[in-house]
Each structure stands twice: as C-alpha cells, then as structure tokens.
Amino acid sequence: MQAFTLPEFYLTYPARMNPHLERARTHSMAWAKAMGMIDSPEPGGGVVWDEAELARHDYGLMCAYTHPDCDGAALELITDWYVWVFFFDDHFLAHFKYTRDIEGGRAYLDRLERFMTREGETPPEPENPAEAGLLDLWARTVPAMSTDWRERFIESTHNLMVESLWELVNIEQGRIANPIEYIQMRRRVGGAPWSANLVEYVAAEVPHRFAHTRPLEVLRDTFSDAIHLRNDIFSYQREVREEGENSNAVLVFEKFFDIPTQEAAEMTNDLLTSRLHQFENTALAHVPMLAGVKGATPDELAAMTAYVKGLQDWQAGGHEWHLRSSRYMNEGAVSGGLGGPTGLGTESLTPGRLGVKRRTEQHTFVPNKPVGHLPLPKLYMPFQFKESSHLDSARDHAVEWAREMGLFEAGSPWDEQRMRGIDLPHCAAMIHADATAEQLDLSSDWLSWGTYGDDYFPLAFGVKRDIAGAQLCAERLSLFMPLDAGETPPSAIPLEKGLADLWRRTAGPMTEPARAVFRKAVEDMLGSWVWEVANQAQNRVPDPVDYVEMRRRTFGSDLTISLAKLAHYELLPPWIHQTRVVRELETAAQDYACFTNDLFSYQKEIQYEGEMHNMVLVVENFLGVDPLKARDVVADLMKARMEQFEKLTGEDLPQLFEDFSLEPDVRDALTRHAELLKDWMSGILEWHRRCVRYRPEELERLYAPSPVEVNASFSFLPSGLGTSAVRVRPANV
C-alpha cells in the first residue's frame, strides 16, 4: 500500500516530448555498459543496477521530458549525465549508506572530485564506474562552456557529492533534520542546482554579470526547492518506508509538527506550490526589472529568457517523469498530458488544492490590523549573556555620533529621546562583550546606522511603492564603500554620511579580501531592504523559505557577526566558510536571533507599522493558523535551531578539526567564532527583554490612534526622479 494519497499538484504548463527519445535511450544504455555501471557489484552480493533496472528507471524519458527542444547529440549527453548522477546516488547508497561506512564514503568522495579538472589539471585513472563516467562526461561537456560556468558546475557537483555525508551521518545517528536545516541542505545534496547548470548547457548560458544577482539566484533556488519537494513526495515510499532514509521533507514535517503522514505530504505540496509561485513572480517581475536596471543587451536578455524557459520545461517534464518512472510511488497521480499551450502565465492544468488560493492569500494582506500584544512563550536559551564594561561611554558616544551624522534632522524617523530608548549600545555591549572601548563605539554606531536604515527604507520608498528609488538608493550607498578604502562621493543624506564614516573607520585597517567580504555583508542588507519595498509594492506576504533566507539579511546578521569575525579572518582558509559545519553554525544562530526579534516586534510591526515582514505573520499566512499557534511554531523553530547549534558546537566542530587536520590557531579561531555566536544570540535575546521599543505602553506612547500619517515634508530625502516619498510616522515622537 502507498504511504499516502498523492496530493493535487500545481502545474502551470504541460510537459512536452523531445523527438530524439529513442536515440537517447539506446545511447545511454550502451554508455552505462561501457562505463561499467551495469552489473556493478554491491558489497553484500547482488548488483547496483542490472540492464532491466536501468531500463525501468528510463532516464532517457526523463531527459526527453525535461529538455524537449535540444538536438539529439545534446540529449544524449544530458541523459548520460543523469544516468551518472543516479548511478552515483545508488552506488554510494549501496557501498556507504547501507554499510554506515562514513570514513570510506569520505575517501570515495574526495577521490571522485579529482575528476572535475580545471585548466592544466590531469585526472587520475578511474577505479570504479562513477569515476569512469565523470571522467568521460567532463571531457565532453566543459569545453563548450565558459570558465565561470565551469566553476559554478564544479561547485554544484561538489555539493551534491560531498553533502551526501550529511545524509549518511544523519542515518547513522537516527537524526531527522529540522525544517529550515533540511530545506537548505537538501538544496545542496539534492542536485537540482546542478540540473540548473545543465539547463544552461542546453538552453543558454546565463551571462556572467547576471549569474550571481539575486533574481537569478532566486530562480535557481525556487527551481531547486520545487524539484526536491516534488521528489520527496513521490519517493517517500521508497526512501523512508523501504530504504530507511530520513532525508525527506514529508518525514521532516511529519516529525517536527507531529502530524499524520498524509497531512505532512499536503504541507510539503503547499510549500512546493509556494516555491513555484515565487519562481513565476521572479521570472515575470524581477528578471525584467534587473535587465532594465543593468542595461541588458538583446543577447543577454535572450539568454536569460531562454534559461527561464529551460527551467520551466524542466519543472513540467520532471513532474511528468515522476508520474511514469518505476522508481517512484505514483499510483493514482494525474498526468498533465503532453502538448497544448506553454509558457509562464498559461492557465493551470490542475491547480491543486491550494494552487490559486495560495497565490491569492499572499497578496491579500491588510495592514495595521489591531492584533494586540503577543504574549511571549518560554524561549530556550542555554547560554548566559555577558556585558561590556564600556557600555556607559558607548551610550554617550552613539548619541553624539548620530547627531553629527544628521540622524536627528527635521523630518527624521528618529530623535534623541527615541534613540536613547532603543539603547542599541546595550545590545552591542552584549553581542560584542569583549570589545575594547573603541570597538564598542564602532559596533554601536553600526547598529545605529543599520537600524536607522531599516526604518528609513520603508518610510522613504515603501509607502510610495518606489522600488526603483529604493534600488537606486541602495546602489548609490555602495559607492560609499570603496574596496581600496579611497575617496567617496559627497553625501546627500544622513544614511550616506553615516556609511562613509563607518566604512572609513571599519575597512581602513582590513585587508582587501576581508574588506570585500564585509562590503558584501552590507550590500546584502541593502538589497534586502529593497526586497522589502518590492514586497510592499506587491502587497505580498513572503514565501516561508524566501522569508527565512532574506530575514538574515534584513536583520543585518552577517554585518554584526562580521564585525567580530573579521578580526581572525586571515587565519581561516577561504574554503572553511563553505563547510556545512561553519555555514550551519552561522545560519542557525542567525535564525534564532531573527525570530527573537519577530516575536517581540509582532504588535509594533503588524498593528502600528503595517509591516508584513514578520515570521509569525508568515507562518499564520502559510499554515492558516491564528497568531498564538504561529507564535508557538516560531518558538519551536527557534528551539530546533538552537539544539542544532549545540550539536554543531559539541560534536560537529570537533569532528571538523579532525577531518581536516586543522592547525591549532585555526581551531582556536573557529572556537572563538562559535563563542562569539553564543554571545550574539544571548545578547540579542537579553536586549529584547530589556528594551522598551516593543512594550505595549511604549507603542501606545509613540503612535497616535490612527497610525498612518502622510507627510510630504521628508526633508532629508534626496530630490529628483524616483526619489519622491511619503512616510508613516508616529505622531508623538
């Protein structure tokens, strides 16, 4: 029996069939035999695949569906890549997952990576079918693509291979990931970003200057998440019930929310639908805007359009293949059919239980609803906060600095009374408890500038729905962070003046590589403020995955953490920041702190500011629950992320030291970084507990009964095209 009834899927376009299917089927079978994949032995007897098994999987059919327009030669190559990746997955499963051989699995993966050569490198002689297949495919593929594409393909192939160890360790420990960890790790181990790279090979390579922009990254990530979530639904029976795997979204939701399997499958499908909606929104709204802002040439625009179409074809074809492959649970599923109209915006074939409803709900937010005070649950915090002895002097300094930068000018959302009440130096004194007096002043000023900027953007640009103005403002702010620490333009508004001063004081002592890392952290935060304005313009409550990832940026997490982290930046090899352990340490800490703010600020943001960027509201909207239930879900996510953080520091970080034989100074730097994150989380929680900013009586004092006041005299705004604004202001400040 099937574990659950398959849900109705949101399908906005039908699958189409490549006419070269039989050619690809014949070729891929012969190629798999030549590489030694057919009848490759398993450790305990039997074989990974025989000829009949490969024929049943029918990867030729999958590629004919997912790449309907390429020629026969390209379809053969693409099909070979998918034969290889599925063989690798099953080969690794048989040799290392079933046997729980973590050390053997690590050695296997390390050697396999050597077959992805760069210019001038020579691969070793292959010793197994996975190595032979990768050697052959690499030689046939990369000469046709740019160096930039090759590097992106190496990264995505590396991720899907190496992160298999994460799955293996979780199986060994009987551990099921929390939902946030699962989504971001599945994106690496699941291979869909790798598929997106192959879409470029078939359709068109994304121009280098656009490949790393947020809209193109969102296209890739939403494409990837949708593929993985769909696969998890179809493969639950085989992976969870038959093979004992525990990396599956249905299982993750089932255990985290303590709900029946059927309900977990529906929830997985709801998230899949939400990710597809964001893919469409990005393709139709944000990619054209990016092309306009960046001045895309006709060839560049054509390439990005072909890429979007290629991703769209993959989604439709991948779904159709899941309906037909013997690899998956697909009894009773509804086919989207073949032929018919295609393209973004085509009317849904089978909208699914929440397809259209989910899209509508995202855009029906009513601002300034009187939600009242949100009672806070007990929050899990295992670390004790510390406090700097330089706090009093930092408080006086921060107010004087803000006055000097113009943050209290007429029409500003701030004045001295409000700034002293917010008491950001107190937050700085806990998150950087060991800072010197000068360092604490700098940290306090960055917190002041970032909080002021976060208040400024929605008031200056959000109410007028001025996305272009917000984008231009963010781009101009980048001019005040020169990588050579040289001259900056004259500042036009306090936000620019403050950034110019902070950059001079912060970046001056840094090396240029560290300076680049820090500037990216600031630019990511600036971009996230534009993202908030864009959501406000569309009256769009964010998708849950998008919100979590962007909340880290809107909160300035990387910026505030980097102020301490960059002190030992040169000690750490660049690759260490991309390891799962370090990456998850930081994102787990960031999520805990961001959700802390969302719990405390719920009434302030929803009722008084008309905001939609709050995790409690996002959960309310996505799950269709009341604020108290959404609050509890957020608190549970915080606890899960904190428990993951404890596991990472207690078990995974010491293992990382041993796995890579790290030198003592590198170990000490990473240990200090983990301790910093503990201070950062505990300090932020304590600041929220003490700060008056979110208390009901303070909100009543600051805001008039009617919270919206239109005021055209926003005197510190730049003038000119795209810069007009009105503001929402508390009447009694």
Confidence check: pLDDT of 341 > 60: no
Q: Which residues contact 173 (CB under 8 A, 6 or more apart)?
A: none
Average pLDDT, the chain: 87
Alpha-carbon gap, residue 403 to 384, rounded angstroms = 34
The residue that leads in pLDDT, 627 or 577, is 627
Query: Using an 8 Å Cβ cutoff, are 555 and 590 in contact?
Result: yes
Query: Using an 8 Å Cβ cutoff, are 584 and 578 in contact?
Result: no
pLDDT the model gives residue 104: 80
Reported pTM: 0.88
Confidence check: pLDDT of 93 > 90: no
Q: How far from chain centre, in Å, is Cα 430?
A: 28
Alpha-carbon gap, residue 30 to 495, rounded angstroms = 64
Residue 571 Rama label (left phi>0; alpha psi -120 to 50; beta): alpha
> Which residues are paired to 338 by β-bridges?
15
pLDDT the model gives residue 342: 37
Phi, psi of 11 (to 5 degrees): -125, 115
Alpha-carbon gap, residue 425 to 408, rounded angstroms = 17
The residue that leads in pLDDT, 45 or 276, is 276
pLDDT the model gives residue 368: 87
Residues 422-433 pLDDT 10s:
999 999 999 999
Nearest to 431 by CA among 657, 733, 696, 680: 680
pLDDT the model gives residue 3: 84
Tally of residues, the chain: 733
Provide the token pair at 274. 């939400």
Confidence check: pLDDT of 401 > 70: yes
Each as own residue / partner, the long-range contacts of residues 464-468 (CB below 8 Å, 24 or more positions apart, any chain) are 464/724, 464/725, 464/726, 465/533, 465/536, 465/537, 466/533, 466/722, 466/723, 466/724, 466/725, 467/289, 467/530, 467/533, 467/534, 467/537, 468/293, 468/722
Query: Using an 8 Å Cβ cutoff, are 258 and 212 in contact?
Result: no
